[in-house]
A and B are shown apart, each in its own frame.
Chain A
Amino acid sequence: MKSDESNKEIRQLTEEKYKYGFTTDVATDIIGPGLSEEVVRLISSKKGEPEWLLDFRLKAYRHWLTMTCPTWAHLTIPPIDFQAISYYADPRRKAAGPHSLDDIDPAVMKTFDKLGIPLEERLALSGGMAVDAVMDSVSVKTTFKETLKEKGIIFCSISEAVREYPDLVRQYLGSVVSYRDNFYAALNSAVFSDGSFVYIPKGVRCPMELSTYFRINAAGTGQFERTLIVADDDAYVSYLEGCTAPMRDENQLHAAIVEIVVLDRAEVKYSTVQNWYPGDAEGRGGVYNFVTKRGHCRGVNSKISWTQVETGSAITWKYPSCVLSGDNSVGEFYSVAVTNHHQQADTGTKMIHLGRNTRSTIISKGISAGRSSNAYRGLVRVGEKADGARNYSQCDSLLLGDQCGAHTFPYMDIHNETAVVEHEATTSKISEDQLFYCNQRGIPTEDAIGLIVNGYAKEVLNKLPMEFAVEAQKLLSVSLEGSVG
């Protein structure tokens, strides 16, 4: 049941502005567009990297040249001109050495203030959260580094880690996601700029949430961040990732790699609120978010838990996965993916059971509105030696309106007959009757959608750390305002 009046109202609401869409005017050191061996060498030399890392990059670059863009996803990706993208942009002051807060351009500081990310430790949220702030290709500031160091925890930008802890980085970099893994992983390995490095030593529970905030600012650039998290035996850390970008008419490429290594009895909880610029209501602009995230439970009784709230990006191609090698290790994936207007998402996870008695849980909640397309794609693989492996998957889709699409592609590849694998899937719609019921009780339509969507996604939102959960709830409502027709 529809009326022109309510459709009009809905269209108006759909024009809701992306509130992080501003740009920062700051002197930026940019390498001009184009990709070649020379550019890879230039990035490496600008960062003052050791020979082994340049080798790693060059191998990746040469391998990338032999590859083509993947086309298997349920996505329509316009051709990307990789020679038209700039691969390095540094918004710091030119005179940057090891810099203190005073060295950071005030405009950059202000940007993060405006985004609600305090870079001064005294302004940190109660309870404490250490932040690594990355703008374009470089980390501008990492807070609470010293406090954490007292416990032996390393939390810094990956560039700094390469300088300060080369052995650790060399041992683990590329050990979970090889540069040969896929097209975008190869590209990232060749040109990756900044990102965070985390090392939690044996037996240490990280006393505060660690977080990295990624911001694309410069026009015509791509962001290729690289994050590496290592939790040694009996260690624990909860890590959060947030991201935003300005509103621009052209598309921007973001191709990241996140690698997590978890040793005996250690646990890593990785939460993402992805809010890259999604493009406008007509589908102009927006970030292409092509990301490879994978964790490796190497140790016995280890655990990796991915929680993601995906509301941004024009196109999302992302499958945070767990390789469960250690006996009794546990992998979890909790996801809410929202698409509106012309956004496209093909996202899900892979759970690779290799060790005995490994367990995995997948809860995926897709929400599609407007003319968007939202696909869940997941693989559960149980290897020959994975006796007693268990998986439970639940994939729900919620449709708002009748011009969007939701798809589910669950793959199972089971090589051990003791495995127990369960899969459930549902598709539902927000009905006009539900909205009217709320209206009659005095709840306006946009609040009603927020209420219904948050109710639907509750199971996943409950997995997020407190401050993040509140933010994510608001974001879900805003992303979908007025999207029911």
Chain B
Amino acid sequence: MLKIENLHASIAGKEILKGINLTVGEGEVHAIMGPNGSGKSTLSNVLVGHPAYTVTEGTVTFRGKDLLGMTPEDRSHEGLFLSFQYPVEIPGVSMTTFMRTAVNAQRTYRGLPPLEAADFLKLMREKRALVGLDSKLANRSVNEGFSGGEKKRNEIYQMAMLEPLLSILDETDSGLDIDALRIVAEGVNKLHTPQNSVIVITHYQRLLNYIRPDVVHVLYAGRIVKTGGPELAQELEERGYDWLKG
């Protein structure tokens, strides 16, 4: 699915990623953990093509294609999704219009005709029910006036609508209370199939109680310094990150 080799990236001339190697197979759930400033968010932003970051070295292939050569929108069309740590508000643009534009852009890329209005609304209703999103939110402007929990749930709802092959959840647990966390995690689990993969980026272990990873990586100072099974997350919770610094 995803193969990252020797990835170096910088922002404003400062190198943040210093040689990342990572392979995610079909259907796998990977967790990337690490302390603040280790490069977790940089990695997710680089993968989806945020223009503020510059890749200085290395390659990334997604389903055999060169990911780094694609525009951000084409990466999305190819099946890459980022659940943002801080989803932005877009005043005046209804969720319906926004999602319809997004879904139809993806369909056009894949050579499919745009969805008819009725079919689209049906799809919205189904997915909304799946992730437990209030219908009132779906009728509002994108993220405008949403609480922290509502914004995160709205991210998972968009993930459901776009049916990505690889989803990156960037600190999805930050700012959520335990109930909101459980609802969001349930949504992610419902959407997980043997065909699609997930990268969970998190500072804390608690999200991983709900979304069970197959593999856990520790990112530290721009490099992956340790890889293990789910038990590694537990160990990090108990011992912190300091023991890995050496």
A interface residues with partner B (beta carbon < 8 Å): 1-3, 5-6, 428, 431-434, 436-444, 447, 451-452, 454-458
B125 CB to closest chain A CB (Å) equals 19
Q: Is the CB of A439 within 8 A of B52?
A: no
Residues of chain B within 8 A of A428, CB atoms compared: 91
Given A437-B87, A442-B102, A443-B73, also A451-B51 (CB < 8 A): no
Which residue on chain B has the smallest CB distance to residue A444? B73
Q: Which of A6, A434, A443, A454 has the most CB of B within 10 A?
A: A443
Q: Is B88 an interface residue (CB 8 A)?
A: yes
Which residue on chain A has the smallest CB distance to residue B92? A455
Q: Which of A1, A434, A442, A456 has the most CB of B within 10 A?
A: A442
User: Which candidate, B17-25, B57-65, B93-101, B234-242, is the interface stretch facing chain A?
Assistant: B93-101
B204 CB to closest chain A CB (Å) equals 24
**Bound Cα distance from A311 to B91, whole angstroms:** 22
Residues of chain A within 8 A of B92, CB atoms compared: 452, 454-458
**Bound Cα distance from A128 to B73, whole angstroms:** 41
Q: Is the CB of A439 within 8 A of B73?
A: yes
Q: Is the CB of B76 within 8 A of A451?
A: no
Q: Is the CB of A441 within 8 A of B93?
A: no
Given A441-B102, A442-B76, A443-B101, also A434-B162 (CB < 8 A): no
Q: Is the CB of A442 within 8 A of B109?
A: yes
Q: Is B77 an interface residue (CB 8 A)?
A: yes
Q: Is the CB of A441 within 8 A of B158?
A: yes
Given A6-B51, A439-B73, A444-B105, also A456-B88 (CB < 8 A): no
Q: Is the CB of A451 within 8 A of B91?
A: no
Which residue on chain A has the smallest CB distance to residue B45? A436
Residues of chain A within 8 A of B49, CB atoms compared: 439
* Chain B count of residues within 8 A CB distance of the other chain: 32
Residues of chain B within 8 A of A440, CB atoms compared: 48, 72-73, 75-76, 81-82, 84
Q: Is the CB of A437 within 8 A of B141?
A: no
**Bound Cα distance from A444 to B105, whole angstroms:** 8
Which residue on chain B has the smallest CB distance to residue A5? B51
Residues of chain B within 8 A of A2, CB atoms compared: 51
**Bound Cα distance from A452 to B49, whole angstroms:** 21
**Bound Cα distance from A458 to B81, whole angstroms:** 29
Main secondary structure of the interface of A (DSSP, over half): helix
Q: Is the CB of B93 within 8 A of A452?
A: yes
A92 CB to closest chain B CB (Å) equals 45
Residues of chain A within 8 A of B102, CB atoms compared: 438, 441-443
Q: Is the CB of B105 within 8 A of A1?
A: no
Residues of chain B within 8 A of A451, CB atoms compared: 90, 93, 97-98, 101
Which residue on chain B has the smallest CB distance to residue A441? B102
Q: Is the CB of A439 within 8 A of B72?
A: yes
B130 CB to closest chain A CB (Å) equals 18
Residues of chain B within 8 A of A432, CB atoms compared: 51-52
Given A451-B97, A455-B91, also A441-B76 (CB < 8 A): yes
Q: Is the CB of B51 within 8 A of A442?
A: no
The 0/1 profile, CB within 8 Å of A marked 1, for residues 17-35 of chain B is 0000000000000000000
Q: Is the CB of A456 within 8 A of B91?
A: yes
A sample of 6 more A-B contacts (CB under 8 A), given A447-B105, A451-B93, is A428-B91, A432-B51, A434-B88, A437-B87, A439-B76, A441-B102
**Bound Cα distance from A2 to B12, whole angstroms:** 10
Residues of chain B within 8 A of A433, CB atoms compared: 88
**Bound Cα distance from A454 to B84, whole angstroms:** 24
Of the residues B88, B91, B106, B141, contact of A442 by C-beta under 8 Å: B106
Residues of chain A within 8 A of B88, CB atoms compared: 431, 433-434, 437
Q: Is B206 an interface residue (CB 8 A)?
A: no
Which residue on chain A has the smallest CB distance to residue B54? A3
Given A3-B52, A6-B51, A436-B50, also A442-B105 (CB < 8 A): yes
**Bound Cα distance from A457 to B75, whole angstroms:** 30
**Bound Cα distance from A1 to B98, whole angstroms:** 23
Q: Is B135 an interface residue (CB 8 A)?
A: no
Closest 4 CB pairs of A and B: A455-B92, A455-B93, A442-B76, A439-B72
Q: Is B71 an interface residue (CB 8 A)?
A: yes
Residues of chain B within 8 A of A456, CB atoms compared: 91-92
Q: Is the CB of B51 within 8 A of A436?
A: yes
**Bound Cα distance from A67 to B240, whole angstroms:** 80
**Bound Cα distance from A336 to B190, whole angstroms:** 44
A203 CB to closest chain B CB (Å) equals 39
Q: Is the CB of B51 within 8 A of A3?
A: yes
Of the residues B51, B71, B84, B97, contact of A437 by C-beta under 8 Å: B84
Q: Is the CB of B105 within 8 A of A443?
A: yes
Q: List 19 A-B contacts (CB under 8 A).
A: A3-B54, A431-B88, A432-B52, A434-B90, A439-B49, A439-B73, A440-B73, A440-B75, A440-B84, A441-B76, A442-B73, A442-B76, A442-B105, A443-B73, A451-B90, A454-B92, A454-B93, A456-B92, A458-B92
**Bound Cα distance from A452 to B141, whole angstroms:** 11
Residues of chain A within 8 A of B91, CB atoms compared: 428, 455-456
Q: Is the CB of A452 within 8 A of B51?
A: no
Residues of chain B within 8 A of A436, CB atoms compared: 50-51, 72
Residues of chain B within 8 A of A434, CB atoms compared: 88, 90
Q: Is the CB of A442 within 8 A of B162?
A: yes
A182 CB to closest chain B CB (Å) equals 35
B35 CB to closest chain A CB (Å) equals 24
Residues of chain B within 8 A of A437, CB atoms compared: 84, 87-88, 90
Residues of chain B within 8 A of A3, CB atoms compared: 51-52, 54
**Bound Cα distance from A39 to B73, whole angstroms:** 59
Q: Is the CB of A452 within 8 A of B90?
A: yes
Residues of chain A within 8 A of B101, CB atoms compared: 443, 447, 451
Residues of chain A within 8 A of B52, CB atoms compared: 1, 3, 432
Residues of chain A within 8 A of B93, CB atoms compared: 451-452, 454-455
Which residue on chain A has the smallest CB distance to residue B102? A441
Residues of chain B within 8 A of A452, CB atoms compared: 90, 92-93
Residues of chain B within 8 A of A443, CB atoms compared: 73, 101-102, 105
Residues of chain B within 8 A of A442, CB atoms compared: 73, 76-77, 102, 105-106, 109, 162
Residues of chain A within 8 A of B98, CB atoms compared: 438, 441, 451
